Each structure stands twice: as C-alpha cells, then as structure tokens.
Structure 1
Amino acid sequence: MYKQILKKFSIALTALLIFGFLCHYINTYYVYQDQSNLDSKSSSNCAIDKFDSTSAQKSRYPRIIILGFAKSGTSALRSSLLMHPNIKGCRCEPRFFDLNYARGLCWYINKVETPKPSQVVLEDSPGYVLTPKIVFPRLIKSLEQFNLKLNDLKFIIIVRHPIIRAISEYLQHGPTKPFDKLAIDSTGQANVGYRPIKRSGYSYYIKQCLEFVPSNQICFVNGDMLRTNPVLLMNKLEKCLGLPSNISSDNFVYNKERKLYCFVEDNKVRCPSIAKKGIPHPKITRRTADILMKFYEPYNKELYEITGEDYGWDYSYTDIGIVD
C-alpha cells in the first residue's frame, strides 16, 4: 500500500516538475521575444557608428543627469526642471547605465524627442548614485560613441534629512513591520543591513562618484527646500547648471491640505499623485531618532565638507514625528 502511494506521489511530483519547466520555458521564450522586438524597434532608426556633431541622435544625449538620491524629491525636482524652456526630457527614469544597459544606446537616446537647438536633455535616474563604479565606466564609454566628453555633462545629487528619506523608502515597499523594528537591530544599533537606513549615508556613495567626476560638475540640492522654498532652490540650481534664470513663483502653488507645492504649467496646476507623494509618515520613538542621528552624524559631517553647506539636520527636525 505504501509503495503504491509512494509511486503515485513520485509520478505526481515528476509531472509537476515537468509542468513547471514548461511554464518557465514558455515564459522565458516570450520575454526574450519581447526584448528582441523592443531592441530591434529602438535601433531601427539608429546608426551604430559614431554620431557627428550635428546629428539629432547626439542632441538627444542627456547633458544633465540626476544621479540620486531616490526618495529625496527627485521626481519633484525633475518636474521643476522640465518647466524650464531650455530643458527637454521625459517624465520617466531610464536607468540605462545600471538596469537597462543591455538594451543599447539607441533605446537610451530614443527615450526623448529631439530637443530644440536652445535646449539640453535631462535624465532622471536616481539609482545611479548607488552604483557609480558600474554607471560611470559605462557612461564614459557611451560618451565616446557620441564624440562627447565627461565635462560636457552636469550632474545633480539631491539629498534630504536622512531619517525622513529612510522612512519614505520604508513606506515605498509596503511595510509589514513598524519602522523602529526595522531601523534598529538586535544590538540596539542602526540596522545597516536594512537598505533604507544604509542608503541615507549619503557621503559613502558621493565619495565614490567623486572618483569619476569632480565636485564642480555636480550640483548638490537640498531636497527639503522643495517643500519650503522651491523658487529659491530652483534659482540656485539654474545658476549651477549654467541656465538662464526663468523659474519663478508663477510656476508653483502651495497645496495647504497636502502640505506641498504643485506645479503650474500652461496655466494648469499639476500636483504629484496622492498615491505616491504626500503620504503621512509614521511617528518614531525618540530612542530610534537618537540612535539614527548618532549613526548619520559622521556621514552628514562628510557631506557638509563636500558640499560646503550645513543642512542643519538634527533629530528635532519638524517633519520627523517623534513619540516619547
């Protein structure tokens, strides 16, 4: 009896494994076909030779790249920059040099329409700052293809209060545990194995970027100012990027209910999606805030030395909800 049961179980298990293999094969086949079709479409009107200085393809190569940090206001910053008449770009995150490199340069430059002669293309890929040793060698290689040099580009790095950024990333992943439980490990220290915590140690990643590009090619942005004074922030950024001053208070309107600034384009008000932005942050304990601020202190000090700006971050920052 037991042998019969065992035999039936073996047959059922074998059939299940074969079925699983077939499903995986079929799925892999169609994914490959979709990828091949996408790559062929993206390269159908794109030569593989070097592009001359007058080519439309070369003009679509980004001259301004937002490197990071994610959850620091990169989307709002991109929207603000795209209101400038001298900037062209897509409302997307291509992530070419880290996630989509296999798609090829043609796919990359076809993400945006050909800009006007007075415009430069903006790219927003906030994951780049986390893997500069992968991103920059690939970027430099692609520049050669377009007869461009690294100093033809400007980069933007946006930061915000490290605890608030960490909480924002925590919310993005649909948390199942309280932030305090994930942010602090069993020894009572900052949990560096938890990505939202680690990624707010800004100077660790920025120093790696500086191995490839000098600091005078990077515009450092205080993302907290997007909620307090976006006009002043954008005017400073325009100057850093070498753009004519164009963005003014006419481009923003404050939404009191959501406590953020919305954008005014062509006399129409556009606010960030309520499903993604302006989500109330959970309160954290004072113990958690103290531990994290102590952890971030050396990173913040290095950041201030690199940027020449003290952002005034401390645990009493008004946007951090603390419960005793």
Structure 2
Amino acid sequence: MKYNNQSKNNGSAKKLYQKFRYGLVKRHFYYLTSNSRVLPNFFVIGGVRCGTTSLYHYLNQHNCIVKSAYDELGYFDDNFHLGLNWYRSLFPMKSTRAMVESKYKKFLTYDVTPFYIYNPTVVDRIFKFSPDTKIIGILRNPIDRAYSNYNGQIQDEGYAKSTFEKVVHAEVDKIEKSKNDPENYGFLVDEFYEMILARGFYAKQLEYWFKKFPRKNILLISSENFANKTVETLSRIFNFLDIPDQKIIDLTKQNKIVYPKMKNSTRDFLVDYFKPYNEKLFELLGERFDWQN
C-alpha cells in the first residue's frame, strides 16, 4: 500500500512537471511569434464580481470573436512593465484573423480585465494605445457587488476574518475620514479601490473614461439586465461591436459562488449609503438601473 501511494505521488508529480514544462514551451512559442499576432479590438473593463467571466464565456462562442490566451490579462495595470511584445503574444495569430475574416467577414479579439475600470492610469494607457477602441463595462448593484466580493475573497484567499458588517463599517469610517482630509484623499487610486465599498463608486471611476473616450464608444450594462435578459443584452453588445447577432448556445453562468443571505439591517444601511453615489451614476449615464434595494 505504501509503495502504491508513493507510485501515485510520483506519477502526480511527473504530470505536474510535464504540464509546467508544456506551459513554458507554449508561452515561449507565443512570445517568439508575437510579431505575427494581432492586438485587441475592444476591452471589457469590469467591474469585479459583476459578470465579466460569464460575458467572456459567451463572447468566445461568437463566430467573429477569437479569445486571448486567457482572461484578466492585466497588461495596462499590473503587467505594463512586461512590454507590448508580451501583451501581443497573448492574442491570436494574424493568420487566424485572415481565416475568420474570409469565413465570417469580421474578426474581433479583446482584453477582459475587470480591474481596469478602477485605475485612471489604465484609461490614459489604453487611450494612447488605441483611442478609437470600444469599451464595455458591466455594473452591478454596488451592495450585491460588495457582498459577493467579500464572500469571494473569503473563499478564494481566506481574506476576511472579520464579519461583513465589521468590514463595511471600517471602510465607511475610512472613506468618510479621507473626504475631510484632501491630502489623504489621494489614496483614491491605490488603497481606495482595494476597498469593497469604494469599488461600487462607479460614477467616479467612469468620469475618467468619459473624459478620454467618445461616449458612443462606451457601452455600460447592468449585471441585473445581463442576468435576467441575457439574450437581449448579448444582442445589444453584438450590435455595439458591429458584428452579426448570433444565438449563443451555452449560457451557463460562470464563476458563481454560494454564500449566506446578507442581514436585512446591513442591506438597509447600504441602501442609504450608496443612494447618493448611485444617483451620480444615473445622472452621468442618463439612464437608471433598477437598484432600489
């Protein structure tokens, strides 16, 4: 029995090594062929826990769209130092573009990184990279987004030993204090958007994007509409991208996590807290989302 277990362990280690080695060879090939690869036509910028993983799964089923090597590339924020050749190596070959265009008339590939929405530096970098590109954002009721984010961090990272209520009140205190101290408010870009509540201040985040990109090049949808009217929302996205409407076969929701219901008292508090921030967003967009509770 001991020998069998040791054999199994050796076999598992060998498989892991082979997988790692294959990954290195594959990445090396991608990098060597980077000059023969295309760059993205559009961006999905976020937000976190708003449905970008599901959107990535659905978009990749469209005949005219070819995905990047993986999602959440993060080139324009954390990985910018790796350079354009590294970034280009993650996208399809030019020969793939030619093949898709010959068959379906249109070809698109894209970068989906849900943290892009939070960082003004990313806005400047993407604008310099491609000023005429198209931008898609998914915005979720900030209360549900924050609670999902909290629970996701617990399950993925063992992040929060504090209760959601303690995290909420600690962040509210920190945010309010920063408003009264202009020097402290500069942490808006860094620490601020590591906070699960501040990630729901969509109007402030989108102001940067609207200053750089034409409004007609930015499509913003609510997570709730995306979840409840998926087919209609996808048709809207395809129209925005100027590609034919297409029935998406697999509409399975991605990256779902299960967690307890939020306390009613906490939700009531957050409804009042986020109300002015949501009103600023609706004014900015010229439309309202159904985020009453």
* 2:238/2:244 contact within 8 Å kept: yes
TM norm structure 1 = 0.66
2:154 counterpart of 1:169: no
Q: How far off its partner does 1:80 sit?
A: 1.1
* 1:89/1:112 contact within 8 Å kept: yes
2:256 counterpart of 1:278: yes
Q: For each residue in 1:211-259, what CA deviation from the matched residue of structure 2 results, as whole angstroms up to 9, or x when unmatched?
A: 21122111111112333221011111112222211135xx24xxxxxxx
* 1:293/1:314 contact within 8 Å kept: yes
Q: Which residue of 2 aligns with 1:221?
A: 221
Q: Which moved more, 1:169-178 or 1:68-77?
A: 169-178
Distance, in Å, in 1 between the alignment partners of 2:282 and 2:243 is: 25
Of 85, 88, 94, 1:106 maps to 85
Distance, in Å, in 1 between the alignment partners of 2:211 and 2:127 is: 13
* 2:30/2:90 contact within 8 Å kept: no
* 2:222/2:289 contact within 8 Å kept: yes
The percent of aligned pairs where both chains have the same amino acid is 23
In the TM superposition, structure 1's runs of 4+ consecutive aligned residues that sit over 6 Å from their partners are 37-41
* Code of the aligned partner of 2:117: V
2:293 counterpart of 1:312: no
Q: How many pairs align?
A: 237
Of 122, 126, 131, 1:139 maps to 126
* 2:56/2:71 contact within 8 Å kept: no
Assess, with a 3 A threshold, how the Cα gap between structure 1 residues 191 and 294 changes in structure 2: closer, same or farther.
Answer: farther
Indicate the SS of the match to 2:109: strand
2:71 counterpart of 1:92: yes
Indicate the SS of the match to 1:173: helix
* Code of the aligned partner of 1:63: N
* Pairing of 1:242-253 with structure 2 (within 5 A): 242-248=242-248, 251-252=249-250
Query: Pairwise CA RMSD of aligned residues?
Result: 2.5
2:131 counterpart of 1:150: yes
Indicate the SS of the match to 1:158: strand
Distance, in Å, in 2 between the alignment partners of 1:290 and 1:190 is: 17
Q: How far off its partner does 1:183 sit?
A: 0.8
Structure with the larger RCO, 1 or 2 (CA within 8 Å, 6+ apart): 2
* 1:167/1:281 contact within 8 Å kept: no
Distance, in Å, in 2 between the alignment partners of 1:313 and 1:212 is: 27
* Residue ranges of structure 2 left out of the alignment (5+ in a row): 1-24, 155-159, 176-191
* 2:135/2:218 contact within 8 Å kept: yes
Indicate the SS of the match to 1:284: coil
TM norm structure 2 = 0.73
Indicate the SS of the match to 2:211: coil
Of 109, 126, 131, 1:121 maps to 109
